[in-house]
A and B are shown apart, each in its own frame.
Chain A
Amino acid sequence: MPSAEPAPAAGAFHRFMADAARVGALVVQPRMGFADPARMRAGLIATRAADATTVGTLTLDSFTRVGDYAAAARAAAQGHHLNGYPLVSMDRETTTGLLDGVHGPGFPVQVRHGSARPGRIVEALIAAGLDATEGGPVSYCLPYGRTPLATSVRAWAEACRSLAALREAGTEPHLETFGGCMLGQLCPPALLVALSVLEAKFFRRHGLRSVSLSYAQQISPEQDEEAVHALRALAADHLPDTSWHVVLYTYMGVYPETRVGALRLVADAARLAVRTGAARLIVKTPAESARIPSVEENVTALETAAAAARTARPAAPPPSTGIEAEARSLVEAVLHLHDDLGQALVRAFAHGYLDVPFCLHPDNAGRTRSFISDRGRLEWSRTGSLPLGRSTAATPSRRLTSSGLLHALNHVRNRYDDPAALLGRAG
C-alpha cells in the first residue's frame, strides 16, 4: 500500500487481500448469484464457512447487466429464477439485510456483473456498503453485448471516479479487470495479458489505487505459467504507486461435463495459481457445463481448489516462448495512440491493434484468428493488424467450419472428461 495518509477504515476487500498476501494463502472465490435474497444470503454464509480462505461474490443477473432493471424486478417479484442477483432492482434494505452480519472485514463481498454501462450498479453497490467490483471498458463491453466501445469507455471512466470517491470517506475501493478473460476461450495469452494490463492502467488513471489483474486458465499449463509471469512483470512496470494482485480464473470456456473432470480442472487451476504466485482464484463448479450451480456445488468447488492449492508451491517461470515480449509490444503500441488511455483503446480497436479472435462485437476488427497447435498451445493463425513487434510466425488458417470450431471449443472438455486420461495421471 503506497498511500501515506491515514486510512481509518480501509476497504474491506482491499484490506483482506493485503492481509492474505502476508500470510501467503490462496484466496478462493465463487461466481455465485441467485435472484432470491434468502438463497443469496445462504450462499454467502456457506462460502464464508467453507474450509478455505474465501471472499464472497454477488454475481448479477443478465437483465441487470444489460440495464433492463424493470424486467429483473418483474421476474424477481414473480419468484422466477434468474442467473444472478438483481442488485439494482432490489431495494437497498433487501441487499443490506442479506449482507448483514455476513459481510465485513473478515469476509468481504465483491460484485461481479458484466455491464458496459455500470453506473447504476456501482451506485447500488456503494449504497449497500460494498467497496469491490469487477469489469473494464473493453472486457465488460466486447464479450457482453452490443454497446459501442466508446460508450463503454465513457461509462467506465465515470464508474471509476465514483468508486475512487470512496477514498474521501476513508475506504480504499478495489477494482478487478476482466481483461484476462474476454470471450473465455481461444484467445492467445499475449493479448489477454495486454488487455489486463491496459485496463488496470485505465483504472489507475481514473483514481483507483487497489486493483487486480485477471488471467483465465487456457489450454496449456506451460503457456499459462509463462503468461501469468508475463502479466506480473508488465504489472510491476506499468502500475507504480498501486496496490495490485493477480487473480486467476478457472477455465472459462466449454467446461467438462463429468464431475471428476470438472473437479480435476478446478484443482489444476488452483495449482497453477500457486505455482505462478496469483493471490486469488475464481472457481468453477461441477454444474458449469449445464446450469446455474447450487450453493453446495459452489462449496465443493471452493474446497477442492483450496485442498489442491495446499499441495502446490511457487515455481520458477518456464522458458520463454515470447509471451511477455508480445504483450509488451501490444501495450506500448496502444499507449502511443493517444494520451488519454480511453481514446487510445477506442483507436486501438478501430486500427485492429487490439483484435479479439472470434469476437462478433461491431467494434472488433475481426481480422485475427487463433488455433490449437500440435503442441496443444494457443497460437495465432492470422495476426491481422496486431503490432506484435518481431514477426510472429502465423500459421495460415484453414477454412473455419462448424465442426472445426466445435472441435477446438471442446478441446479442454474432451481432455478432462476422458476417463483414460484420468487413469494415465493416477498411474
Chain B
Amino acid sequence: MPVVYPHHQPPDSPRHAVLTTIASDSHTWNLLFLQLLLEEQGWEVTNLGACVPVDVLVEEAAARTPDLIVVSTVNGHGAEEAPGLARAVRAVPALAEVPLVVGGKLDTSGSTGPDVHAALTDAGFDAVLTGASAVPGLLALLDGLPEHRHGRSHADAVR
C-alpha cells in the first residue's frame, strides 16, 4: 500500500511556495512529487522546472515574495552549488527572511552527514532535508510555519 500523506483543506488564500532546483540539475520527478505533496497540503506552488539558473529563481521570488522556497536536487552537485544559490537569495532584502529549505541527494557519495548540512545552513538555508526523514521533516516544518507570513492582502495573493 502506498503511503498516503494527510491532505489539508486549502484555505481561501493559499500560502505560496516556489519550488526549484540548482542550475545544473535536470531531474524533475522529484519536483513533480514535491509539487503534488505541497498542493495536497493546501499550498499554491510555482514549480520552476529543471536546471533553474539562480537569476531566474531570484527574479521569480522577488517579483512575488513567497511564503517558502523549496530547493530539491538529486544529481550530486547540491553541496557544490546550493550554497551559492542560498547566498544569492539572501542577498535580496525582500527574500532575506523567507523560509528556505533544501533536500534530496546532495553529494556524489550518498552522505546525509552533518558536514554537508553545516555548509548549507551557514550559506542561508533554514533546513537541510535528506534521507528517509526528508519528507516527514518537510511536512513537520510546514505545520510549524505561520498561516500567513506576510499578512498579504487577498489581492496580493491572487495577483
Chain A residues close to B by CB (< 8 Å): 61-63, 65-66, 68, 71, 75, 80-83, 114, 143-146, 183, 185, 254, 287, 290-292, 358-362, 400-407, 409
Listed by A's residue number, 6 A-B pairs whose Cβ atoms lie within 8 Å are: A62-B77, A63-B24, A83-B76, A185-B29, A360-B47, A360-B50
Among A71, A83, A405, A409, the residue within 8 A (CB) of B108 is A83
B105–chain A nearest beta-carbon distance, Å = 7
How far, in angstroms, from A173 to B68 measured CA to CA in the complex?
A: 49
Q: Beyond the given A291-B76, A362-B49, could you list 8 further A-B residue pairs with CB under 8 A, ordered by the A residue number?
A: A62-B25, A66-B51, A80-B80, A82-B80, A83-B108, A402-B37, A403-B3, A407-B2
Residues of B within 8 A of A146 (CB): 49-52
B10 interface residue (CB < 8 Å to A)? no
Contact A291 B80 (CB under 8 A): no
A81-B76, A359-B28, A409-B29 as given contacts; A402 in contact with B47, CB under 8 Å: no
How far, in angstroms, from A71 to B25 measured CA to CA in the complex?
A: 13
Contact B110 A402 (CB under 8 A): no
Chain B residues close to A by CB (< 8 Å): 2-5, 23-26, 28-29, 31-34, 36-37, 40, 47, 49-52, 75-77, 80-81, 105, 107-110
Contact A360 B77 (CB under 8 A): no
Residues of B within 8 A of A61 (CB): 77
How far, in angstroms, from A145 to B50 measured CA to CA in the complex?
A: 5
- A401 (CB) vs chain B CBs: closest residue: B36
Contact B108 A406 (CB under 8 A): no
Contact B26 A62 (CB under 8 A): yes
- A63 (CB) vs chain B CBs: closest residue: B24
Contact B24 A65 (CB under 8 A): yes
- A358 (CB) vs chain B CBs: closest residue: B32
Residues of B within 8 A of A291 (CB): 76, 105, 107-110
How far, in angstroms, from A63 to B23 measured CA to CA in the complex?
A: 8
Please list the 7 inter-chain residue pairs (A to B) with the smallest Cβ-Cβ separation, ordered nearest first: A291-B110, A407-B2, A62-B24, A145-B51, A402-B36, A402-B37, A290-B110
Residues of A within 8 A of B28 (CB): 143, 183, 358-360
How far, in angstroms, from A407 to B1 measured CA to CA in the complex?
A: 8
How far, in angstroms, from A42 to B135 measured CA to CA in the complex?
A: 38
Contact A406 B49 (CB under 8 A): no
How far, in angstroms, from A358 to B133 measured CA to CA in the complex?
A: 26
Residues of B within 8 A of A145 (CB): 26, 50-51
- B31 (CB) vs chain A CBs: closest residue: A360
B126–chain A nearest beta-carbon distance, Å = 22
Residues of A within 8 A of B2 (CB): 403-404, 406-407
- B24 (CB) vs chain A CBs: closest residue: A62
How far, in angstroms, from A82 to B81 measured CA to CA in the complex?
A: 11
Residues of A within 8 A of B47 (CB): 360
Residues of A within 8 A of B108 (CB): 81-83, 291-292
Residues of B within 8 A of A66 (CB): 23-24, 26, 51
Contact A68 B33 (CB under 8 A): no
Contact A81 B109 (CB under 8 A): yes
Contact A402 B50 (CB under 8 A): no
Residues of B within 8 A of A359 (CB): 28
Contact B26 A65 (CB under 8 A): yes
Residues of A within 8 A of B105 (CB): 290-291
Contact B24 A68 (CB under 8 A): yes
B6–chain A nearest beta-carbon distance, Å = 11
Contact B50 A83 (CB under 8 A): no
A120–chain B nearest beta-carbon distance, Å = 15
Contact B80 A75 (CB under 8 A): yes
How far, in angstroms, from A61 to B26 measured CA to CA in the complex?
A: 12
Among B29, B49, B76, the residue within 8 A (CB) of A183 is B29
A114-B26, A143-B26, A146-B49 as given contacts; A360 in contact with B109, CB under 8 Å: no
Contact A402 B5 (CB under 8 A): yes
Residues of B within 8 A of A83 (CB): 75-77, 108
A81–chain B nearest beta-carbon distance, Å = 4
B129–chain A nearest beta-carbon distance, Å = 15
How far, in angstroms, from A71 to B83 measured CA to CA in the complex?
A: 14
Contact A144 B109 (CB under 8 A): no
Contact B50 A361 (CB under 8 A): yes
- B56 (CB) vs chain A CBs: closest residue: A146
Residues of A within 8 A of B40 (CB): 401-402
How far, in angstroms, from A146 to B52 measured CA to CA in the complex?
A: 8
How far, in angstroms, from A209 to B75 measured CA to CA in the complex?
A: 33
- B52 (CB) vs chain A CBs: closest residue: A146
